[in-house]
Structure 1
Amino acid sequence: MATIKPFKAVRPTRDKVALVSSKSYETYPEDELNSKLAYNPFTFLHVVNPGYKYHKQDITGEQRFKLVHNRYLEFKEDQIFTQEEKPALYVYQKITPTHSFSGIITATSTQDYHDNTIKIHERTLKKRELLFENYLKNTGFNAEPVLLTYPDDTTVNKIIQKYQQKRAEYEFTSTDKNVHLLWIVEDSEDIQVLVSAFEKISTLYIADGHHRTTSSCLLAKNLADENPNHTGKEDYNFFMSYLLSESQLSIYEFNRFIKDLNGLTPDEFLIELDTYFRIEKRGQELYKPKEKHHFSMYLKGEFYALYLRKSAYEFSDELSELDAEILYRTVLKPILGIEDIRNDSKIIYSQDKSDGLELKTKVDSGDFKVSFGMMPTTIDEIKTIVDKGLVMPPKTTYIEPKLRSALTIYEFL
C-alpha cells in the first residue's frame, strides 16, 4: 500500500515561475551557469549557489548549506515564493519535442521506503547519502521531486485528465524548448480519490533520485530518534516525489568508454572476445543493437557487432540476463580488468539519446581505446530484478523525464 500526502507547497508566483525554476544545477556547463546567475536575479540557481552573491564559488559543506537556507528565506521575503494556504496535490505535465509526461507531485512516505513499498534498482554511496542528509537538515526543504513510477491506473489517469481540461496555474516554455504545465488539486474529494487509488498500489519504483530518497529517509530516522514526541506524522517523515505511470517513462542506455585495453593489442583483445561473442566487423557502417544480448563496439576506427554465445554464458538469475551485467561479466572484468565499475577511472559512461555516433567520436579523439553500446533496459526488466531483491549495475538506465527544481517546494522543518 503506497502512502501519498497533500502538502502546502512553496512555489514561485505565476509571473516569475519561468524565471525561477531551473534544471538541476549540476547539469549546467560553467559558462551557462554563470550567465544565468549574472543576468537572472530570480533563478533558483541563486539559492543553491549562494556563494555567487559574495563572489565566492568555493564555499562548501555546512557553511554552504546554511547559506542556501538564507538565500531561500530571502526569496520568500521578497515574495518570489508564496505558500499554499491549504494542503494540495499537483498535476504536472512536461512536453518535450518528442514526448509528453503527466503525473502527480505529492509527498511520499519514508516508512514506505523502509517497508519496501518504495523499491530501489541501484545502490547508493554512503558518502553521498550523509552529505545530502546534512544538506537537507540545514536547508529544511525538497526543491526537486524524486521520480517514482507505478503501474498504469485508470482512476489516477481520470483525475489527471480532469485537471488538464482546466486552465493551468503555470504554463511556460523553458529555453530547452520544453513546455511545463502545473495544475493545483485542492478539492478534498479529488485528493481522497488519489490517496485511495495509491493505497491500492502495492509498489512504487524509484526511477530517478536514489540518493535523495535514501538521504531523506536517513534524516527522518535521525530526527525521529531525537524527538521524544515523535508520532510518524511529522513532515520530516515524507519527501517530495513525482509519480509517473510506467508507460510514460522514457528509458535510454548508457554507452561504456574504456581508456585502455589492459595491456592487450586490438587483435589480442578481439581474440579474447571471441570466447563469449560471435564477432562481425562492420567497418565504417554504424551498428546499433536491435536485440537483447547484442552489443555494438567501436575499436581502432571500425564498428563491430557482438552477439553473445549463449552456450558459453550461464544465465543464473534475472540479473545475469541484463545486458549491462553480461558486458561486465564477460568483458569489463575478466578481459579489461575493471573490477569496480562504479569508481574505476578507466571507464566512463555517457547516456545515448542520439544516433550512436558518440561511440565513434570519443574513441577517434584518442581519449579512449574502445567503446560499447547496447539496447536500453525495459521497465519490465527493472521491475523483475528489483522484485527479486537484486540490484542493477551502475549506469544501466538513463530515465526521463528529468525534473525541474523549484516548481514546487516541500518544507519539512
Structure 2
Amino acid sequence: MAIIKPFQAIRPTTDKVAHVVSRSYQNYSRRELNAVLSYNPFSFLHIINPGYKYHKNVKGQERFQLVHNRYLEFLEDNVLTKDPQDSFYLYQVESAHFNCSGLFCAASVNDYRTNVIKKHETTLQRRESLFAKYLETVKFNAEPVLMTYEDNEEIARILAKERGRPPAYYFTTTDKVTHRLWTLSDKKTITSLQSAFANIDSLYIADGHHRSASSNLLAENSERHNPSHTGNEPYNFFMGYLIPDSQIRIFEFNRMVKGLNGLSKEEFLIKLDALYRIENQGDILYKPTKKHHFSMYLDGEFYSLYLRKKVYQFTDALSKLDTQILYKTVLEPILGIHDLRKDKRIQYGHGKHNAIKMKDAIDRGRFTVGFGLVPVSIQEIKAIADAGLVMPPKSTYIEPKLRSGLAIYEL
C-alpha cells in the first residue's frame, strides 16, 4: 500500500517558469553554466550555485547556507511563489522521441523504511550524510525521486481526464522538450488518486537512491530532536515523481577499461574464450542485440561475445543481469577490477552515439578495450528490488531526467 500526499508546492510564476527551470547542474559544461548564470537572472542555477554572486567558489556548510539565502531571495522577488492549497501536480514531458506523464507528490519516508518503496542500488553513507545536512540547512527538495509503479487503469483514467484541462504551465525549452503542468487541488480528485495508489503494492526507485536515503536520514535526525514528533511533519516525506512502468525509458552504460591487466591481446582473448564464443566483426560498428550477448572493441576491431551458459550458472535475479555477468566473468577475474565505483581504470558511457564515442576513445589511446551491452529492462530492475538485491553501479541510464525548480517541496 503506497501512501502519497498532496503538498503546497513552491513554483515559478507563470511568466518566468521557462527561465527558472534548469537541468541538473552536472549536465552543464563550465562554459554553458557560466553563460546561463551571466545572462539569466531567473535561473534556478543561481540558487544551487550561490557563490557566483560573490565570484567565489563556496563549499560545505557555507554553500548550504548561501543556497538557502538565494532561495529566500527568489521568494522575496516573487520569482517563486507558494501555492495556496495542497495539490498533486501532473507533469507531462514531450519531445520528438519521448513522452511521459507523471505525478509530483509527497512520498512517505516510512514507506521507504518498510520497503513499500523499493531500491535496487546501494548508497554511500558519506553522501547520505552530506546531503541530509544539505537538506537540513536549505530546507527544501527541488529534485524529486523518480519512481515507477505497475500500470494502473484507474490512475491512468484520472490523469487522462486532468490532461483535458488547460495546464498551469505550457512551455518549450531550448532542447525542444515541451513541458506541461497541471495543479490537481480538487479534493475529490486527490482522494481518488490516494485511493488508487493505496492499491499499489510497491513503488520502485528508478533514479534518486541517494536523495531518498538522505531524506530518510534527515527524518531520523529530525525525529530524535523533536520531542513533539507526530509523524505528520514535512520531514517525514520527500518529493517524488511517479510514472507507470510503461513510460520509463532505460538505456545502457558501456564499459571502457584501461589496460588488459598485464595480458597481451592474444592472452586476453584466450581467457575470454573459456566463457564466451567469440566472433570477430571487423571494423564495422557493432552492437549487441539480446541478453547475455556483448560487443567488445579491441585494437581497432569489434567482436561479438556470446556467453557459454554451460560454464556460467544463473542462481538469482542478479546473476542474470548482463552488467553482473560482465563483472563476474571479465572485469573482475580477468581484468582485475574489483571495485566498480572506485577503480580509475574503468569508465562508463551512455547516450545515442555512445558506441561511436567508445570506439573513438579507444582509438585515441585513452582506453584499451570497451564493452557494449543491451539495456536493462524494468522487469529486471523490479525483480532485483523485490529480491532485496543490488545492481552493479552504472547499470542503467534512465529517462525522464527531470528539471530542477519546477516544483519545490519545503521541509
Range class of TM-score, shorter chain: over 0.9
Alignment of 1:24-43 (within 5 A): 24-43=24-43
> Which residue of 2 is the match for residue 158 of structure 1?
157
Give the deviation of 1:355 after TM superposition: 6.5
* 2:14 alignment partner AA: R
- Aligned partners of 2:200 and 2:365: how far apart in 1? 50
* Residue 20 (structure 2) pairs with residue 20 (structure 1): yes
Q: 1:165-195: CA deviations, max 9, x gaps? A: 1111101111111111000001000000001
Deviations 1:12-35, CA, capped at 9 Å, x for gaps: 000000000101111111100000
Which residue type is aligned with residue 66 of structure 2? L
Q: Which residue of 2 is the match for residue 54 of structure 1?
A: 54
Give the TM-score normalised by the residue count of structure 2: 0.99
What is the CA deviation profile of residues 226-271 of structure 1, one whole-angstrom value per residue up to 9, with x for unaligned ones? 1001010111100001000000000000000001111111111111
How far, CA to CA, are the matches of 2:174 and 2:192 in structure 1?
36
Give SS of 1:357's match.
helix
Say if 2:254 and 2:354, in contact at 8 Å, map to a contact too: no
Residue type of the alignment partner of 2:369: V
The structure 1 segments of at least 4 consecutive aligned residues displaced by more than 4 Å after TM superposition are none
**Matching of residues 134-213 of structure 1 within 5 Å:** 134-213=133-212
- Structure-2 separation of matches of 1:80 and 1:228: 36
Q: Decide whether the 8 Å contact of 2:154 with 2:196 is kept in 1.
A: yes
Q: Are 1:76 and 2:84 counterparts?
A: no
Quick one: distance in 2 between partners of 1:36 and 1:241?
Answer: 27
SS in 1 for 2:73: helix
SS at match of 1:229: coil
In structure 2, the partner of 1:217 is: 216
Paired position in structure 1 for 2:275: 276
Distance (Å, rounded) in 2 between the aligned partners of 1:105 and 1:53: 31
SS of 2:253 mapped into structure 1: strand
Aligned AA (1:41)? P
Between the aligned partners of 2:187 and 2:99, the Cα distance in structure 1 is 27
**Aligned position for 1:118:** 117
Find the aligned partners of 1:148 and 1:301 in 2 and give their Cα distance. Answer: 40
Tell me, in whole angstroms, the C-alpha distance in 2 between the residues paired with 1:146 and 1:108: 9
Structure 2: runs of 5+ lacking an equivalent: none
Q: How many residues align?
A: 411
Shift, 1:99, TM fit: 0.9
Q: CA deviation at 1:353?
A: 2.8
| 3-state SS of 1:264 partner | coil
Q: Distance in 2 between matches of 1:355 and 1:366?
A: 17
1:360-396 per-residue CA deviation (whole Å, 9 max, x = no partner) reads: 1111111000000111000111111111111111100
**Larger deviation: 68-77 or 165-174?**
165-174
Q: How big is the shift at 1:354?
A: 3.0
Equivalents in 1 of 2:314, 2:79: separation in Å?
A: 56
Q: Does the Cα contact within 8 Å between 1:255 and 1:352 map onto a contact in 2? A: no
Contact 2:318/2:391, CA 8 A, preserved across alignment: yes
Aligned-residue identity in percent: 56
| Contiguous gaps of at least 5 residues in structure 1 | none
State how far apart, in whole Å, the 2-side matches of 1:290 and 1:355 are: 15
- 1:9 has 2:23 as partner: no
Aligned amino acid, residue 182 of structure 2: W
Which residue type is aligned with residue 309 of structure 2? K
Q: Distance in 1 between matches of 2:55 and 2:274?
A: 57
SS class of match (1:230): coil
Retained in 2: the 8 A contact 1:6–1:106?
yes
**Mapped partners of 2:72, 2:159: distance in 1:** 32
Partners of 1:18 and 1:352 in 2: CA distance = 25
SS at match of 1:220: helix
Where does 1:221-240 land on structure 2 (aligned, <5 Å)?
A: 221-240=220-239
The code of the aligned residue for 1:272 comes to: K
SS where residue 15 of structure 2 aligns?
coil
Match of 2:355 in 1: 356
**How far off its partner does 1:358 sit?**
2.2
Describe the superposition over 1:208-242 as per-residue Cα deviations: whole angstroms up to 9, x where unpaired.
00000000010001100110010101111000010
Match of 2:309 in 1: 310
In the aligned structure 1, how far is the partner of 2:340 from the partner of 2:158?
43
Asked if the contact 1:89–1:184 (Cα under 8 Å) also holds between the matched residues in 2, the reply is yes
- How large is the Cα RMSD of the aligned pairs? 0.8
> Where does residue 98 of structure 2 map in the other structure?
99
Cα distance in 2 for residues equivalent to 1:351 and 1:130: 28
Partners of 2:290 and 2:48 in 1: CA distance: 42
Q: Matched residues in 1 for 2:269 and 2:355: separation? A: 21
